[in-house]
A and B are shown apart, each in its own frame.
Chain A
């Protein structure tokens, strides 16, 4: 990727540049690492890494914030052993797909619809602004979205705001406060936030027809709204259902100046005087994490990890984090195992660099005891392909979260047609419609029962797995995301021309 520096601090790059071979191609958590090992943007490495960690929290499951330690481990029956050499170093970045590559997945008719939608927008352009170029769910999504929109002849530019550590400390605190953590909003914090927003506002140009500001960090750029004829949209990737009131009241006047806001779930939104749209987070079916795999690859990876494909496999993929309740999953497995034979695979990361993750991993190992059928994999964050293979080899996928953003690991499992058991929290019920596209549970006992039921009722398991995949195809794929952006752009343009027509 060729990064240019605009007025020395703003990283700016276009979709065309992203097609080049060294671009931070995104493939689940793979992208973080790909981005790190390739020539990154011209920002201070420490600053970037910090921001990656912050931004990664935006999209649970899409990308993990763990740095590439490569010190993951594989635990089976309480016995640790080294991971296979193949996963110890990050693979080279995969090429970015083109629109036509999606034809075999969504069909020609859906592609035609995208092209028709884009046709009336020809000559118009979009600018996306966020706070990080690499790592994290937003950057990952933009890495795919920006080239696809441009391929549809809606040129889309992506700018990244900059700031010092003090700015990102404040925005990290805002982020947590918006998620509900108590926070004392000081005058100094407000000034830091406003100062960096003003600096970025002076540096950036807003010549496009649609300006999209992602998340709270660059929200102050809205002050340029009146200088431009563009529609301005705020894309909020975080859950605002229970924010710290001080922080929200500070940000609200900015948000209310936008022409529209976008949230990832109905329950994440606030009462605002502007239209609010629902854009579900999405997965890329062509990424390393989600692409089809030959059975031989699935078999090899299972062999590497000691997973026996001749027996039922129950899997949870997630960080070793209490909110993902890995201990509860082990308990549910143990209850189910009294009735049905199965193995449990817990595949995740985050334990190598995070003291809490390491503690949770230890708790999981303690609960697992010496059961040889419990396989615990603390994987480095670039193991998208391995995660893909494990999900595909699984008989059932579990995501027994106690709290969740959207839960993209659920989307990944559904996409692979897997009967999925998931906690009824956060954005999961948007994906898992109970007994239709998966099953929802509220307790360890409920999870254990559903494991037993799905393993002994393969026809039902197959039916919900098939419907789950269709649900993802309809609602949670990257191409649907492209469609939503095009629809929104057209709807806002239509509203703008009506406003213009009403003016004397």
Chain B
């Protein structure tokens, strides 16, 4: 472990939900809208919705999956959409292609499902984003731990999940800093493996803290 050259600046991001112009009343319309909606709509209904529901340990993955089961009663499609891990994507376009592909394949196999009217429409939304600083900019690992414990879960989401879109690489801000600045390569990898879909964001925070703490002692 070495002394970092750069502090870790804990930031957070706050989002304001904007109602989009597109809506889908059946799966065929969803498929079409998925291809044409703005990138920030894809972000909203995947990355961002995960943040909104950070307190749920199981059963909520993204809005498309949720709508497929709750409004369209299509459990197979819902499971397939829910299995998409946003952390496998470093850009929105890749994530969009995956979602479109899943719906496309499902509709080819179940053509009658396409125009079955959903119980309620899917309204495409988007987020306007504001990134904010927090009071924490530690330049030691113990300071990092303190910041980690005190920032809001939105900050954890910002650094741990949204970071991929910023960094365009399969890592997160915490792992990157711990590896590059502190030389904690294995803990950085362990942090990267934390499962966000079976944990609340508080649980994620705790696991990161545990991993770092073990390496402090």
A residues neighboring B (CB under 8 Å): 107-110, 112-113, 116-117, 263, 266-267, 269, 271, 275-278, 424, 429, 433-437, 467, 470-471, 473-475, 483-484, 487-488, 490-491
A435 and B130 form a contact (CB under 8 A) = no
Known A266-B19, A267-B123; 20 more pairs at CB < 8 Å? A109-B134, A109-B151, A112-B134, A113-B12, A113-B134, A117-B130, A263-B19, A266-B123, A267-B121, A271-B21, A277-B16, A278-B125, A433-B56, A436-B56, A436-B60, A474-B54, A474-B55, A483-B14, A487-B128, A487-B130
B14 and A487 form a contact (CB under 8 A) = yes
Q: B195 contacts the other chain (Cβ, under 8 Å)?
A: no
- Chain A's interface: helix, strand, loop or mixed, by majority? helix
B152 and A113 form a contact (CB under 8 A) = yes
Partner of B70, one of A267, A276, A434, A484: A434
A117 and B134 form a contact (CB under 8 A) = no
Name the residue on B nearest A116 (C-beta).
B132
Minimum distance in angstroms from B53 CB to a CB of chain A: 8
B18 and A278 form a contact (CB under 8 A) = yes
User: How far apart sit A424 and B120, CA to CA, in the bound complex (Å)?
Assistant: 10
Q: Hey, which chain B residues are within 8 Å of A474, CB to CB?
A: 52, 54-55
Interface residues of B in 102-144 (CB under 8 A from A): 119-121, 123, 125, 128, 130, 132-135
Q: Hey, which chain B residues are within 8 Å of A113, CB to CB?
A: 12, 14, 132, 134, 152, 154
A471 and B19 form a contact (CB under 8 A) = no
Minimum distance in angstroms from B62 CB to a CB of chain A: 13
Most buried by A among B18, B52, B120, B132: B132
Name the residue on A nearest B149 (C-beta).
A109
Name the residue on A nearest B21 (C-beta).
A271
Name the residue on A nearest B69 (C-beta).
A434
- Chain B's interface: helix, strand, loop or mixed, by majority? mixed
Q: B186 contacts the other chain (Cβ, under 8 Å)?
A: no
Q: Hey, which chain A residues are within 8 Å of B15, CB to CB?
A: 487
A491 and B128 form a contact (CB under 8 A) = yes
Q: How large is the interface on B (under 10, 10 to 19, 20 to 34, 35 or more residues)?
A: 20 to 34
If A434-B70, A491-B128 touch, does A107 touch B152 (CB 8 Å cutoff)?
yes
Pairs A–B under 8 Å by Cβ, sample size 26: A109-B150, A112-B134, A112-B135, A113-B134, A113-B152, A113-B154, A116-B132, A117-B14, A276-B19, A278-B18, A278-B19, A424-B119, A433-B53, A433-B56, A433-B66, A433-B70, A436-B56, A437-B56, A474-B55, A484-B16, A487-B15, A487-B130, A488-B16, A490-B130, A491-B128, A491-B130
A487 and B134 form a contact (CB under 8 A) = no
Q: B46 contacts the other chain (Cβ, under 8 Å)?
A: no
Minimum distance in angstroms from B26 CB to a CB of chain A: 16
User: How far apart sit A116 and B121, CA to CA, in the bound complex (Å)?
Assistant: 36
A277 and B56 form a contact (CB under 8 A) = no
Q: Hey, which chain B residues are within 8 Å of A263, CB to CB?
A: 19
User: How far apart sit A271 and B20, CA to CA, in the bound complex (Å)?
Assistant: 9
User: How far apart sit A412 and B18, CA to CA, in the bound complex (Å)?
Assistant: 25
B125 and A266 form a contact (CB under 8 A) = yes
Contact mask B51-68 → A, CB, 8 Å, 1/0? Answer: 011111001100000100
User: How far apart sit A245 and B102, CA to CA, in the bound complex (Å)?
Assistant: 39
Partner of B18, one of A107, A275, A473: A275
Minimum distance in angstroms from A5 CB to a CB of chain B: 36
| Leading 5 A-B pairs by shortest Cβ distance | A470-B55, A266-B123, A109-B152, A278-B17, A487-B16
Q: B171 contacts the other chain (Cβ, under 8 Å)?
A: no
Name the residue on B nearest A487 (C-beta).
B16
Minimum distance in angstroms from B150 CB to a CB of chain A: 6
Q: B155 contacts the other chain (Cβ, under 8 Å)?
A: yes
Q: Hey, which chain A residues are within 8 Å of B155, CB to CB?
A: 109
Name the residue on A nearest B55 (C-beta).
A470
Q: Hey, which chain A residues are within 8 Å of B14, CB to CB?
A: 113, 117, 483, 487
User: How far apart sit A406 and B123, CA to CA, in the bound complex (Å)?
Assistant: 17
Minimum distance in angstroms from A417 CB to a CB of chain B: 12
If A263-B19, A277-B19, A474-B54 touch, does A429 touch B120 (CB 8 Å cutoff)?
yes
A491 and B16 form a contact (CB under 8 A) = yes
User: How far apart sit A484 and B15, CA to CA, in the bound complex (Å)?
Assistant: 8
User: How far apart sit A434 and B71, CA to CA, in the bound complex (Å)?
Assistant: 11
Q: Hey, which chain A residues are within 8 Å of B135, CB to CB?
A: 112
Q: Hey, which chain B residues are within 8 Å of A112, CB to CB?
A: 134-135, 152
A269 and B19 form a contact (CB under 8 A) = yes
B60 and A433 form a contact (CB under 8 A) = yes
